[in-house]
């Protein structure tokens, strides 16, 4: 992610109108199954004029019919956009390596969008009724489509400014963005319930034991013996949550050749493709050691569980950076897309250093993914919570500028955040959330975490300012609740990105935090900043914000469902 934002016009009054209009609880009920003119329907979207030019105007239909039409049209446009990108990649002559990499990112991201749109079409079919979990899943996919599209654009803008490629892709990009936004708005107003969900003030401790070990249900006694012998830990038979984590198969990675594989990537390649998790996780046990490799969990490698020997014992490390010609997206040491991924007891590093600017340790675009007792180490852009639904528990995150960023729906719970010493003249911003559309169900929720200075910052005797976050995109959304903030946090709390960009349209909130840096007395006075009550904070809990009750139990990771 770059330090500069592309400015967007016509923000304040119109955006505030949209905010109020879209959050109206009566909107979905008003449109429901009643035939309505395109003009009326389109007025509820962020791009009414584009919407009216898109929808058939010679008849009245229901919001469901309009939504299906728009999503089908989105799939057609996306396929055409992919063909255009593929054409540029076939003609690589004269293109710089960073430009080629940005186009390859687009190729990958657009491919995901085709999958997501196809899945959406299959889900809604001809039905006007979805179960709440189905509606949430589809809402998540449509939100991720916009994120993928924006990521493609960001990469191209950073690597090919004022180029023929930019000019050729400009119109398809902006039209695609409007089309996805209209599709998302129509779906949300038609299918997504406007009422709260989940249990209030609930807590759940799942299938980790009191001493923090996984309860595993192994597929064979042989697997159990292997696990116990290589890890030195006993696999528990009972658990607080009343069940065990189901494991279908286990392999071991060891650098000395004593395991099934000597590299993590080879173990990932051996995992089965396109599993649904019903038979349990494919477990990769990574023996302690430093693994200098770039690991990628592809979209067809689903329900993998990777377990190491502990933070700073099992270490995966790389040093790619934007300065060295990589895009932010593909600078990651560890990248995961496969649904249902779980990682436990692992450190992931990017050692490029502060002078190399954007350099990602983890990039996560895996739906319903979980990281427990892991550490992420970098400087600028350490943890890229890119898209979809994610959960982090008891993790350590080190960085400087925007070191937790992206546009996932993500909850960090009981984690430690360690701002480090940045380059001279830089400030620290813990978060840079990337929500671009008011209808996306994304944001960063930080609950019961601890923010203290990393050792290099604590002993620097300098004047580095550290902020809770800044608005990377128009509708940036970040909430800190029930967390400890040490004195390193600047009294203003938050810092602008560029001028008044997104200060009125973002949503930044704090609830019941503690520590010397938690006072809200001198916080920013932006329209988008709020000190909230439990009534609002409950919306950003595991149960409500990422529907964690539906999927976290299977991971074996303990979690608090509501407020504590």
Yes or no: say if 333 and 295 are a contact pair by the CB < 8 Å rule: yes
DSSP calls for 108-146:
HHHHHHHHHHHHHHHHHTT-S---HHHHHHHHHHHHHHH
Place of tokens 């609880």: 25
> What is the helix (H) or strand (E) element at residue 191, kind and residue range?
helix 164-191
Helix and strand element counts for the chain (H, E):
13, 27
Reading the block at residue 43, the tokens are 């007025």
- Residue pair 340/550 in contact (Cβ under 8 Å)? The answer is no
Rounded CA-CA distance 5/498 in Å is: 7
DSSP string, 165-178: HHHHHHHHHHHHHH
Instruction: Fill in the DSSP letter of residue 103.
Output: H
Which phi and psi (to 5°) does residue 153 adopt?
Answer: -65, -45
SS3 230: helix
Residue whose entry in the numeric block shows the structure tokens 């480090």: 420
3-state secondary structure of 531: strand
Which positions ≥6 away from 417 have C-beta within 8 Å? 396, 397, 404, 430, 446, 449, 450, 451, 452
For 10-20, b/e burial (b = at least 16 CB within 10 A) is ebeeebeebbe
SS3 74: helix
d(CA 219, CA 180): 43
Among residues 214, 358, 188, which one has the least CA distance to residue 281?
Answer: 214
Q: How far is CA 65 from the centre of its chain?
A: 30
Q: Which of 105, 154, 309, 402 is catalytic?
A: 402
Check if the beta carbon of residue 457 is closer than 8 Å to that of residue 464. Answer: yes
* 155, 358 Cβ separation under 8 angstroms: no
- Concerning whether 402 is annotated as a catalytic residue, the answer is yes
Q: What is the 3-state secondary structure (H, E, C) of 265-325?
A: HHHHHHCCCCCCCCCCEEEEEECCEEEECCEEECCCCCCEEEECCCCCCEEEEECCCCCCC
Q: What is the DSSP letter of 535?
A: H
Q: Coil, strand or helix: which one is 469?
A: strand
Q: Are strands 334-336 and 362-364 parallel, antiparallel or unpaired?
A: parallel
Alpha helix ranges (H) inside 455-558: 455-458, 534-537, 542-545
Q: Point out the residues that are catalytic.
A: 402
């Amino acid at each position: 992610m770059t330090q500069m934002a592309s400015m967007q016009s016509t923000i304040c009054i119109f955006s505030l109108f949209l905010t109020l209009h879209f959050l109206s609880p009566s909107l979905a009920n008003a449109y429901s199954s009643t035939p309505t003119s395109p003009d009326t329907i389109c007025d509820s979207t962020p791009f009414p004029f584009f919407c009216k030019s898109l929808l058939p105007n010679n008849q009245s239909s229901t919001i469901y019919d309009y939504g299906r039409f728009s999503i089908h049209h989105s799939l057609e446009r996306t396929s055409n956009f992919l063909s255009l990108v593929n054409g540029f990649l076939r003609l690589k002559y004269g293109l710089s390596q960073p430009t080629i990499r940005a186009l390859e990112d687009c190729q990958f991201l657009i491919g995901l969008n085709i999958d997501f749109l196809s899945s959406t079409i299959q889900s809604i079919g001809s039905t006007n009724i979805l179960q709440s979990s189905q509606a949430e899943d589809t809402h998540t996919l449509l939100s991720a489509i916009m994120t993928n599209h924006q990521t493609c654009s960001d990469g191209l803008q950073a690597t090919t400014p004022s180029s023929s490629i930019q000019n050729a892709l400009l119109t398809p990009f902006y039209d695609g963005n409007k089309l996805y936004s209209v599709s998302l708005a129509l779906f949300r107003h038609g299918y997504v319930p406007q009422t709260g969900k989940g249990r209030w003030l609930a807590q759940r401790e799942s299938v980790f034991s009191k001493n923090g070990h996984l309860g595993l249900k192994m597929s064979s006694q042989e697997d159990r013996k292997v696990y116990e012998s290589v890890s030195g830990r006993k696999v528990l038979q009972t658990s607080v949550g009343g069940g065990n984590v189901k494991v279908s198969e286990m392999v071991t990675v060891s650098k000395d050749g004593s395991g099934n594989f000597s590299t993590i990537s080879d173990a990932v390649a051996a995992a089965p493709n396109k599993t649904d998790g019903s038979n349990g996780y494919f477990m990769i046990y990574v023996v302690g050691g430093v693994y200098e490799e770039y690991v990628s969990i592809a979209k067809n490698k689903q329900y993998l569980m990777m377990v190491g020997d502990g933070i700073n014992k099992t270490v995966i490390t790389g040093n790619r950076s934007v300065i060295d010609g990589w895009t932010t997206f593909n600078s990651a040491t560890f990248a995961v897309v496969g649904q249902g991924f779980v990682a436990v007891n692992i450190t992931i590093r990017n050692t490029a250093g502060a002078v190399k600017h954007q350099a990602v340790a983890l990039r996560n675009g895996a739906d319903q993914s979980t990281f427990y007792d892991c550490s992420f180490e970098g400087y600028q852009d350490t943890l890229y919570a890119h898209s979809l639904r994610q959960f982090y528990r008891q993790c350590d995150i080190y960085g400087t500028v925007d070191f937790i960023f992206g546009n996932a729906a993500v909850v960090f719970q009981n984690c430690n955040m360690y701002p480090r010493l940045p380059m001279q003249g830089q400030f620290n911003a813990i978060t840079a959330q990337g929500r671009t559309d008011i209808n996306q169900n994304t944001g960063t929720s930080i609950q019961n975490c601890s923010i203290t200075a990393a050792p290099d910052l604590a002993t620097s005797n300098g004047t580095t300012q550290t902020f809770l976050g800044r608005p990377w995109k128009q509708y940036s959304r970040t909430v800190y609740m029930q967390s400890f903030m040490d004195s390193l946090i600047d009294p203003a709390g938050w810092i602008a990105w560029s001028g008044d960009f997104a200060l009125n349209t973002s949503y930044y909130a704090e609830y019941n935090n503690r520590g010397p840096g938690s006072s809200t007395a001198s916080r920013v006075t932006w329209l988008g900043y709020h000190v909230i009550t439990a009534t609002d904070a409950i919306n950003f809990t595991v149960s409500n914000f990422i529907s964690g009750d539906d999927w976290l139990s299977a991971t074996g990771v303990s979690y608090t469902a509501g407020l504590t």
